Amino acid sequence: MTRSDAAPKARGGVGYGMDLEAPGMLWAALVRAPVPHGRIVRMELGPARRMPGVVAVVGPDEIRTLLPKGALEAERPVFPLDEIRYRGEPIAAVAAETLEQARHAAAAVVPVVESLRTDARIEDVFPEWPSAAAAKDPRVVGHVHARHGDVEARFRSADLVHSETYHTSGVHQVALEPHACLGEARGGKFRVRTSTQTPFGLREDLASILGIFESSLVVEGTWVGGGFGGKGAAFLEPYALLLAVASRRPVKLSVTYAEEFELGRTTLPSIIRLDTAVRGGKIVGRRVRLLLDTGASLPGRDFAVGYSIGFLLGPYRTETYEIEGFAVQTNKPPFGPHRAPFAPQSVFALESHIDGLARRLGVDPIEFRLRQVWREGDRTAYDQPVGPFGLEAGLKAAARTAGAWRTRLPAGHGIGVACGFWSTSVGAGGEARLSLRPDGLVILQGEREIGNGSVVHGLAVVAERVLGLSLAAIRVDYGDTATAPFDSGVFGSRTLGALGQAVERGARSLVTILAKRVGASEIHLEIKSGQVLVVAGRRRHKLVDLLTPTERAEGGLVVEGKFYGPEREVDASRVLAGSVYPYQDFTGAVHLAEVEVDRETGHLRVVRYAAFQDVGTAVDPSAVQGQVEGGVVMGLGAALSEEMLWTPEARLANPGLLDYRLPRLRDVPPIHVELIEGFAGAGPFGAKGVGEPPIIPVPAAVANAVADATGTRVFEMPLTPERVARALKLL
C-alpha cells in the first residue's frame, strides 16, 4: 500500500515548520548563556535594540512587562529569572527584519555573569555511590525505591550472584528538520504554528509558561520532518510568542544544528548497577541501582527513574527484587524523550548482564532467556497482568535463525541476541470526527504526520477496514487546537493503538447508523463514479439519499469517535518512594546481530541483523517493516557511534554532524525482519504499536555479539572503536 503523502513529499510539495512564512514576518535569534551555571549580574539590551533592522529585544524583564503575572510563576519561565542552569540556555531573544540582522544583534548582547559551581557529570554530584539519605540533596530531582519479596534471603541462598556496572551516554534525536515555529500575538490572543508531535500538550505547556488561559492560544501543527520524541514539549515557541507580543509582528524562529545539539532535550548519561541471584539455573533475585543524569531538570522527575527501572527488571519473571534510582541534576540541558525513552540504554545494561550470566552458567543465551521470559498470564514486577505477548515465540524464531547463522560463522565474528519489551501508551486518549460525505470520508483529527505514517496512512487504513471504502475515498484532515478534537499526541507508539481506536469506534457507529437506516443487519460502503454507496446484501443505496436534510446541509453524516483507555494500577505496596510507571499493552522484540570485530583497531562491522517483532496484527505490513528497519538503524547509531561528548566544563564538544556520527546508507547491514503475529494487542484489529520497540534491543544485541566474538564484554555504550580496543586491552 503506498502512502498518500509519499509523492507530494518527494516532489518537495509539503510544508514543514522550517518552511513557515507570514506577511510582515520578522526573523528571530536567541541570546544564549555563556556559562553552565551562574547568575546574570547585568545584561544591557539597549545597544542591540538600536542595531539595524532590529524591531524587538526581550529578556527576563519583558516577562514582567509584557506577559500576565502567571508567567513569572511558571515552573520554567520563558527566560531564567534566578539562575542560568546550563551553557547555552536562552537568556534573551531578538526579532529583526532579516535573520542576519537578528543574529548580529543577538551576538551583541554580552551579559555580565557571575559563575557558580558546575556539576558537569553525575560523578561531580556523587563521587561515591549515594546512600538513601542522598534523596534529600537538592540536586536529586527524582527518587524511586521499590521492592518485593525477601531479596536478602534469595541472595544468601543463591548458587551464584552476578554483579556488574554499566555506563551509557547521551544520544540526540537528530530529526533532519530543525525545530522551527512562527508565533503571532494580537489583543491577548496567541497563535503558534510549529513542527510538533503534540499540539494539545504543547498548548497546555505554553499556556502555563506564558501565564495565559489555554483558550487564548491556538497551536497549529505543520508537517513534521522527524520527531523521535524531540518535538513535544515547548521549545522555541515561548521565545517566538514573547517576541511577537513585543514587536506586534509575526515572528519566525528556527535554530541552527549547533543550537539543536546544545539546546537539545535528549537522552543523558546513566550509571547502572545490577546484581542478579541465580538458583537452579533460574533468576531468583535482582538488585538494581541507577543514577540518571537528568541535566538541568527541576524537582519532580521521579517518572524518569520510574520509566528506567522497569526496563532493568526486564520481560522476565523476577521473584524478588529491590530497585532504587536517583535522577541527578547537572548543568547539561534538561533531558528529554528520545524514541523509546530510557529503554535502549537500560536494556543495554540488563541484556548485557543477562547474556554474561548465561555464558557464566554455560547455558545458551536464548535458552536462558526462554526459562524466565514472560508469557501471557504472568505478573509483572509491580503485579500487573501480562497479556498476549510474543517474546517467547520471538526467541524461538531467533534461535532457528541464530542456528543457521552459526553454521557458517567466520573467525572473528560473533552472534549476539537481545530482548526488549515496550508498553505502548494506548491509555492516553484521543478523539476523531468522521464526516461521511456523498463523495467520501473525511477524518478530522488534531495530529500532524511525523513520518511513520500512523496518522496520514494508519488512520485511513483503519477506516477502510471497518467501512470497506477504498483508501482513495478517505482523507485524513488536520485541524488546529481550536477546530480539531482533542488527542494526546504522536508519541509512545500510541497513535494507531489509541487514536486509531477512536477512528475505529467512529467508523463502527457510522456502520450502525446506516445499517439501521437501510434496515439491514450488515452493511459496507463502496465508491462508484464518485458516489458513496451503502451496500446491504444485494441492495445498494446512494448515501446522499439516506442523509437527513440537516446532514445534507452539513455536507454529510458526522460522528465523533472517542477512545480513553482504562487506568492501569500497580501494586502500590511494592513502591516505597516515588512512583513507578504503570506499564500496559506489552509488546516485545528479539534481535540478533552478527558482528565482525577488528582485533587490531577495535572497529566493529555489523555483518547482518535480524529483528523479530511482536506486532499483534500488522495493519500494514510494509509500514511495519519500515518502522522496524528505521528503528534498528537508529539503534545501530546509538550502539556504535552516536554520543554527545561533554567536557568537564559542561560544554558539548561535538555539536554538529561532523563529530556526531549518524549511520549513512553504506553503513547499513542486511536486516531480516520477521513479524510475530497472533498475540493480539489492544489496538484496532489486535494491532500493537511499533514505532519505538525496534530501537530498544539494538545496543545490547551488538554488545552481546562482541562478547560472543571475543569473550570480552564492553560495559559502556556506544561501542566505539576506542572502547572496544580498551576492553580488548589494545590500548
Q: What is the DSSP string of 153-184?
A: HHHHT-SEEEEEEEEE-B-----SSPPEEEEE
* Residue 438 sits in the site that holds other proteins (CB under 8 A): no
Q: Where does this chain touch other proteins (CB under 8 A) — which range of 376-384, 485-493, 569-577, 632-640?
A: 632-640
CB of 461 to other proteins, least distance (A): 14
Q: Are 423 and 584 in contact (CB under 8 A)?
A: yes
CB of 512 to other proteins, least distance (A): 34
Interacting residues of 623 by C-beta distance below 8 A, sequence separation 6+: 1, 3, 452, 453, 457, 458
Binding-site member from 178, 336, 414, 556 for other proteins (CB under 8 A) = 178
Binding-site member from 13, 127, 138, 280 for other proteins (CB under 8 A) = 13
Q: Angle CA(626)–CA(628)–CA(634) in degrees, nearest 5?
A: 100
Q: Are 391 and 315 in contact (CB under 8 A)?
A: yes
Output 670 or 711, the one with its CB closest to other proteins: 670
* Residue 724 sits in the site that holds other proteins (CB under 8 A): no
Measured torsion, CA atoms of residues 118, 123, 129, 135, in degrees rounded to the nearest 10: 30
Residue position matching grid coordinates 547491514: 669
Identify how many contiguous H helices and E strands the chain contains and give both numbers: 20, 26
CB of 670 to other proteins, least distance (A): 8
* Residue 65 sits in the site that holds other proteins (CB under 8 A): no
* Residue 177 sits in the site that holds other proteins (CB under 8 A): yes
Output 339 or 353, the one with its CB closest to other proteins: 339
Output 132 or 657, the one with its CB closest to other proteins: 657
Binding-site member from 623, 640, 682, 700 for other proteins (CB under 8 A) = 623
Output 449 or 464, the one with its CB closest to other proteins: 449
Crossing angle between the packed helical segments 621-640 and 698-710, to the nearest 10 degrees: 60
Crossing angle between the packed helical segments 365-372 and 391-406, to the nearest 10 degrees: 170
H/E run at residue 218: strand 217-221
Q: Over 490-526, what HEC string results? A: CCCCCHHHHHHHHHHHHHHHHHHHHHHHHCCCCCEEE
* Residue 34 sits in the site that holds other proteins (CB under 8 A): no
Looking at the DSSP assignment, which residues form a beta bridge with residue 672? 610
CA distance 520 to 681: 31
Q: What is the DSSP string of 22-33?
A: -TT-EEEEEEE-
Q: How many residues bind other proteins (CB under 8 A)?
A: 55
Q: Where does this chain touch other proteins (CB under 8 A) — which range of 12-20, 274-282, 290-298, 381-389?
A: 12-20
- Residues in 132-161 that interact with other proteins by CB under 8 A: none
Output 660 or 715, the one with its CB closest to other proteins: 660
One character per residue 664-703, x = contact with other proteins (rule: CB under 8 A): xxx-x--x--------------------------------
To the query of whether residue 692 is one of the catalytic residues in this protein, the response is yes
Cell of residue 566, nine digits: 482504562
H/E run at residue 279: strand 270-279
Binding-site member from 632, 706, 714, 727 for other proteins (CB under 8 A) = 632
- Residues in 219-238 that interact with other proteins by CB under 8 A: 223-228
Residue 687's Cβ-side half-sphere holds a number of Cα atoms within 13 Å equal to: 30
CA distance 179 to 594: 36
Output 9 or 524, the one with its CB closest to other proteins: 9
Active-site residue, from 89, 184, 643, 692: 692
Q: Where does this chain touch other proteins (CB under 8 A) — which range of 318-326, 496-504, 558-566, 619-627?
A: 619-627
* Residue 181 sits in the site that holds other proteins (CB under 8 A): no
* Residue 164 sits in the site that holds other proteins (CB under 8 A): no
* Residue 630 sits in the site that holds other proteins (CB under 8 A): yes
* Residue 12 sits in the site that holds other proteins (CB under 8 A): yes
- Residues in 446-475 that interact with other proteins by CB under 8 A: 449-453
Please give the residue ranges that form the binding site for other proteins (CB under 8 A): 2-3, 5-7, 9-16, 18-19, 21, 100, 174-178, 223-228, 256-257, 449-453, 622-623, 625-626, 629-634, 656-658, 662-666, 668, 671
**Which residues are known to be catalytic?**
692
